[in-house]
Amino acid sequence: MTHALRAEWIKLRSLRSTWYTLTCLFVVALGITALASNAAGDSWDTATEADRLAWDPTGRSLTAYIVAQLIVGVLGILVVTSEYATGLMGTTLTAMPRRGRVLAAKVLMATAIAVVAGEVLMFASFLIGQPLMARQGVPSASLGDPGVLSAVVAGGLYLAAIALLAVGLGVLMRATAGALATLVGIILLVPALAGLFPSFLAGLLDFWPTIGGSAALATVPNPDYPHPWVNLGGMCLGVAGVLVAAFVVFRRRDV
């Protein structure tokens, strides 16, 4: 397993797309954080009394996760599909015939990169966003405030879960475009179109993984998700199910 992990690390670090994706992740996400935080003053001035009572400075500074999850997803997909696109997967499986070990190494490497990048990004977003809001006279938060640290940590874990979901989709589809389209549908399209679904499906959307999982990034209680960490745990179980299916398919089919 050590050799498999070392091989995956060499492949990942030697791909320019890995570094381009990580650079894009931080540049775009932190840029969105700065824009959202700078606009907080206008939002606070025009907010109603109810809006001010529900004001969540932590959640506002972490809104970059909406775009960051797509970029992290691209990274997770490329961990697998880049080898299918170049034909390197056949070489990898020839050198290491134990397919379960190969995929486990990819999953562990993707997890390590996504957790580190996700946590660094969320803490950076929080530490950049709060001073920008405080400068405008808008209520801000610190890491020592109740629920703040757990929300920031949840942001990194949420992004890591998305990366693992992307790895599973990459294995199942073996194509970057198909896996990315599916990921976009799961994390963006279904939540955005939730209001268009018939009433008998509305209850199912209450358990949609990315909707409930992202609720853990806030410090103001959401009545729809009173236990957001439970929802985040459910999301991780769903991702684990996708990964189990990916392991089964990866072991049984040809390259």
Question: Distance (Å, rounded) from C-alpha 209 to C-alpha 235?
Answer: 5
Answer for the pair 58, 218: CB distance below 8 angstroms, yes or no.
Answer: yes
The residue count for the chain? 255
* The pair of three-digit structure tokens given for residue 241, joined into one six-digit string: 């199910």
**Quick check: helix, strand or coil at residue 111?**
helix
- Could you list the pLDDT tens digit for every one of the 255 residues in the chain? 888 889 888 888 888 888 999 999 999 999 999 998 888 888 888 878 887 888 888 888 898 899 999 999 999 998 888 888 888 888 888 888 888 888 999 999 999 999 999 999 999 999 999 998 888 888 888 888 888 999 999 999 999 999 999 999 999 998 889 999 999 988 888 777 777 777 666 666 666 778 888 888 888 877 777 888 888 888 898 899 999 999 999 888 876
User: Is the Cβ–Cβ distance between 36 and 63 less than 8 Å?
Assistant: yes
Going from N- to C-terminal start, the domains of the chain cover 2-252
